[in-house]
Chain A
Amino acid sequence: MHDMSAHAHATHQAPTSFIRKHVFSLDHKVIGKQYYGMALAAVIIGMFLSWLMRIHLGWTNFAIPGLHILSANGAPGNVMTPEYYLQLMTMHATIMVFFVLTTAPFAAFGNYFLPIQVGAEDMPFPHFNMMSFWVTFVGFLVLVSSFFVSDGPTLGGWTQYAPLSAVGSVGGPGQGLGVVLWAASIAIFCVGQLLGSLNFITTTLDMRTKGMSMWRLPLSAWAWFITSVMGLTAFAVLMPACILLILDHVAGTSFFVPSNLVINDQMQPHAGGSTLLWQHLFWFFGHPEVYIAIVPGMGIVSHVLITNLRRPMLSHRVLIYSMGALAVLSYMVYGHHMFVSGMNPVSSLAFSFPTLVITIPSTIVVLIWLGSLYGSKMRINTASLFALGFISMFISGGVSGFFLAQPSIDIMLHATYFVVGHFHMVMGVAAMFGIFAGTYFWFPKMYGRMMNETLGKTHFWLTFVGAYCIFMPFHYLGIAGNVRRYQAFVDDYLQPLIPVHRFITVAAVATGAVQLIFLFNLFYSRFWGEPAPDNPWQGTSLEWSTPTTPPPHNNFGDHLPVVYHDPYQYGVESSTGDYVMQTSPEQVNNGHDEA
């Protein structure tokens, strides 16, 4: 007999007080919105930092008005010092990768919609879920606090390679307390995300409603599930690495610092540590992390796309298998970040093969999407535009990865702007497009109001073109040998490239400004948007079958839904039109011809 205690466990009463409703809430929907709000704050900060960086790169001696207020040491006379550039860069990357790309597509949308898409009242461990957000938020605060310590934040890049990250303040400004705060914040973040993964996995495996088999889950749910399994293993490795790094700082250990280092003519007290050890630990986490950043986007985009194509995915299962393959392979490729690191050159070849092989599932995913476009009835709205834009961006970003997968080519492209272009295309643009697609698509369900389509489309057009203007040129710079993480370009061979940087800066600031349209749309629609019906997109999955919009506290009211169909029954002839919802007992005929 069904273990009813599974459902009972998840039940919690609707809260009444303000604190319980909006602050310390056990409701996965509130937690999802809290994550989204935090990600929004983080992306605004991260983007602002990128503006400062880009302005400085284009015009190195330019006095940016007001910059000395942000940091008197970092910008005397409003001109950014070299170390401050690196500090801003490190914080930009850390904030974006951890507090935007891991939170918004995964923790925000996943928390809100995974329980609903599986047909549950909530996640099975709501207290852990609440803790997951607040722990992550504390991590965010700890990170941001490093802006306000006397030496400023760490300047070692989000990768924090040892020994620079481990030797302490002799290494440079921000390398003392700044690194400790960075490592502490990331360790705290890892704990928060592990608590989240716990809930995502148990929700997917144990809380599915009657009739909802694993294969009947929407692609977004599968993506969140696969991502949470990756998170489980990846974050659990980064956390001890950060602990060891902190110990090297505060306890005098030498995990990562070798002997006989001399800085400022002073022998450093550490001995015997391994700098490559940090790289191995970090990238074992780091590569799955970038898939954690993109797989939810793939799931969201698949989900949004298929609803707007009005036909089933070319193959639901193949997409799931491919996302799973990406997740598994992501653990075997991490050494491609270390081709010229000094590790055994044979290892480099060993890592390059799975890196090349991972192109195959990525290609399958893109081809399945393209194949699903074929013969469809494509609806164009803001959400579907961002979903289609994701495909274009993912192709661009993926293709550049093909170069970097080969060690012999990496000799030329390692640590150049080619790498920066590659990861910004996939993470900074494609993953963002996934977040945008999800926002425009699910906003009506979350807030009961439609977002403005005109503003949305304007946002899309300007961002799509702007993003290509910003990040395509990065690849050309990289091919020309433009090294990354430089605050200024003093080398002879880089002088002809400075005009390209200026073009990029203009594009970046302009495209960033365009995001204000999105922000405005978000807040305006929240209060004054057109009231939304329960199922504005004629979607089939469970979130569109909630009794109210936004959903009630326990998602489905008195009765948990029962599922009769696969998730994407579009292109059929039914009483509701060209689709049949998963919860509808109606039996329909296929309206399209099967290949």
Chain B
Amino acid sequence: MGKFFAVTIVVIAILSAIPIVRHTWEAPADVSAHGALIDEQMSETMAEAGLSFLASQFLLGWFIWRYSAFKPGDKIKSFPGGAKTMVWAAFLLVGTECLALGVFGVKAWASVYLTPPAADAMTMQVQAGQFAFYFRYPGPDGKLGPIHANLINEANQNFYGLDQDHDTDSKDDIVTAEMAIPVNREVHLLMHSKDVGHSFYVPALRVHQDFVPGLDVSLHFTATKVGRYEIVCTQLCGLGHYNMKAYLSVLSPQDFDDWIKKQAALQ
């Protein structure tokens, strides 16, 4: 039975690796400027983790195969080098792997989270609330008006609680239910939560950030390919969490101008 177990382990390990190697299920193609670093990190990790996974499962299988079939006269043997070998192997192999990935990973992380947005980035805002995203563009004055929580009224479609009568900056703000951005232009996305915790995830754009109620956070990124993508909420926010999504359209600069004008007219 030991041999059968050994074979089972090896077969399972190989079967597990197949969908990875064949890229059966993959993240959507990267359409961001910073995503290449993340994808590279992922491939390297997959290679190293995959090799470690296969090697250790194979070793486990081999040892089970070999040593469950002992003969009565066999003597107990100790692994060459004893525990010292294992400790050194762990420190050297795993330690260097971890160090390498950790250090290289800093660059990918820093490019998203530790660099300020470009001076000419397009600023806009997303508000998350049970169970929808609403987007706000500053309009021609380039300024987003203040949010008055006490004025929020979904029935009247005042999602942001804007006081357009008294706040000049709010007068030309454009609020939409879909997000659109121009291609190849950095976007500075301000993130505000109306109620509980939510998260903003666009797999194709390689961005993921939780909203923090009470604290406005932001993201910046550049889309490099025209297309239509989905924004999904990934922070459990209540019964409608599964349905909380919005579409993101990456448009050519001309199409984006047209779109913004159309949205402004609808306000």
| Contact of B242 (CB < 8 Å), options: A82, A173, A592 | A82
Q: Does A103 belong to the interface (CB within 8 Å)? A: no
Closest 4 pairs (CB-CB, A-B) = A258-B214, A375-B77, A315-B83, A592-B76
> A167 and B203 in contact (CB under 8 A), knowing A260-B149, A273-B214, A375-B67?
no
The yes or no answer to A480 lying at the interface (CB within 8 A) is yes
CA distance A464 to B61 in the complex (A): 14
A162 and B193 alpha carbons, distance in the complex (Å): 13
Taking a contact as CB atoms closer than 8 A, the residue among B9, B86, B106, B150 that contacts A267 in the complex is: B150
Q: A452 at interface (Cβ–Cβ under 8 A)?
A: no
Query: Which residues of chain A come closer than 8 Å to B45, judged between CB atoms?
Result: 402-403, 406, 409
Report the Cα distance A359→B95, complex, angstroms: 8
Residue pair A340, B37 in contact (C-beta under 8 Å): no
Contacts of B230 in A (CB 8 A): 491-493
Closest Cβ neighbor of B156 among chain A residues: A265
Shortest Cβ distance from B51 into A: residue: A399
Contact with A along B66-110 (1 / 0, CB 8 A): 011010001111111111011101110111001101100110110
Given contacts A261-B149, A267-B149, A408-B38, A375 and B79 within 8 Å (CB-CB): yes
- The reply to whether the CB of A412 lies closer than 8 angstroms to some CB of chain B is yes
**Interface status of B132 (Cβ within 8 A of chain A):** no
**If A164-B197, A315-B83, A359-B94 touch, does A258 touch B53 (CB 8 Å cutoff)?**
no
| B239–A371 CB distance below 8 A | no
Residues of A near B114 (CB, < 8 A) are 345-346
Q: Is residue A376 within 8 Å, beta carbon to beta carbon, of the partner chain?
A: yes
Please report which residues of chain A, range 465-503, place their CB below 8 angstroms from some CB of chain B when the two chains form the complex. Answer: 465, 468, 472, 476-477, 479-481, 483-493, 497, 500
Shortest distance in angstroms between A432's beta carbon and chain B's nearest beta carbon? 17
Residues on A with beta carbons closer than 8 Å to the beta carbon of B86: 314-315, 318, 364, 367-368, 370-371
Chain A residues within an 8 Å CB radius of B75? 375, 591-593
Interface residues of B in 154-197 (CB under 8 A from A): 154-155, 161, 194-197
Contact check: which of A374, A412, A484 meets B208 at CB < 8 Å?
A412
Q: Closest approach, in angstroms, between the C-beta of B152 and any C-beta of chain A? A: 5
Say if the beta carbon of B19 comes within 8 Å of chain A: yes
Whether A19 sits at the interface, judged by CB under 8 Å, is no
Residue on B with the closest CB to A460?
B5
A414 within 8 A of B: yes
The number of inter-chain residue pairs (CB within 8 angstroms) is 322
CB distance from A496 to the nearest CB of B (A): 8
Which residues of chain B have a CB within 8 Å of any CB of chain A?
A: 1-2, 5, 8-9, 12, 16, 19-20, 24-28, 37-38, 41-42, 45-46, 48-49, 52-53, 56-57, 59-60, 63-64, 67-68, 70, 74-83, 85-87, 89-91, 93-95, 98-99, 101-102, 105-106, 108-109, 112-114, 129-130, 149-150, 152-155, 161, 194-197, 199, 201, 203, 206-215, 217, 230, 232-243, 245
Interface residues of A, Cβ cutoff 8 Å to B: 81-83, 86, 155-157, 161-164, 167, 171-173, 257-263, 265, 267-268, 273-276, 309-311, 314-315, 318, 340-342, 345-346, 348-349, 352-353, 356-357, 359-361, 363-364, 366-368, 370-380, 385, 388, 391-392, 395-396, 399-400, 402-403, 405-412, 414-416, 457, 464-465, 468, 472, 476-477, 479-481, 483-493, 497, 500, 570-571, 591-595
Q: Are A172 and B238 also in contact (CB < 8 A) when A163-B197, A341-B210 are?
A: yes
* Given A163-B197, A406-B101, A411-B208, CB of A262 within 8 Å of CB of B63: no
| Cβ 8 A contact of A595, one of B79, B161, B242 | B79
- For B150, what are the chain A residues with a Cβ–Cβ distance below 8 Å? 262, 267
Chain A residues, CB < 8 A from B20: 476, 479
Between A and B, 27 residue pairs with Cβ closer than 8 Å are A82-B243, A83-B239, A161-B235, A257-B213, A258-B215, A260-B214, A262-B149, A265-B155, A276-B212, A309-B67, A314-B86, A318-B87, A342-B212, A345-B109, A346-B114, A360-B98, A364-B87, A371-B79, A375-B76, A376-B67, A378-B2, A395-B57, A409-B105, A412-B38, A464-B8, A476-B24, A486-B241
Question: Are A171 and B238 in touch, CB under 8 angstroms?
Answer: yes
Per the bound structure, the CA–CA distance linking A595 and B80 in Å amounts to: 6
Closest to B149 in A: A260
Residues of chain A with a CB closer than 8 A to B46's CB: 403
Instruction: Check A388–B5 contact: CB distance below 8 A.
Output: yes
Task: Report the nearest B residue to A81, measured CB to CB.
Answer: B239
B78 & A402 in contact (Cβ 8 Å cutoff): no
Closest residue of chain B to A489 (Cβ to Cβ) is: B242
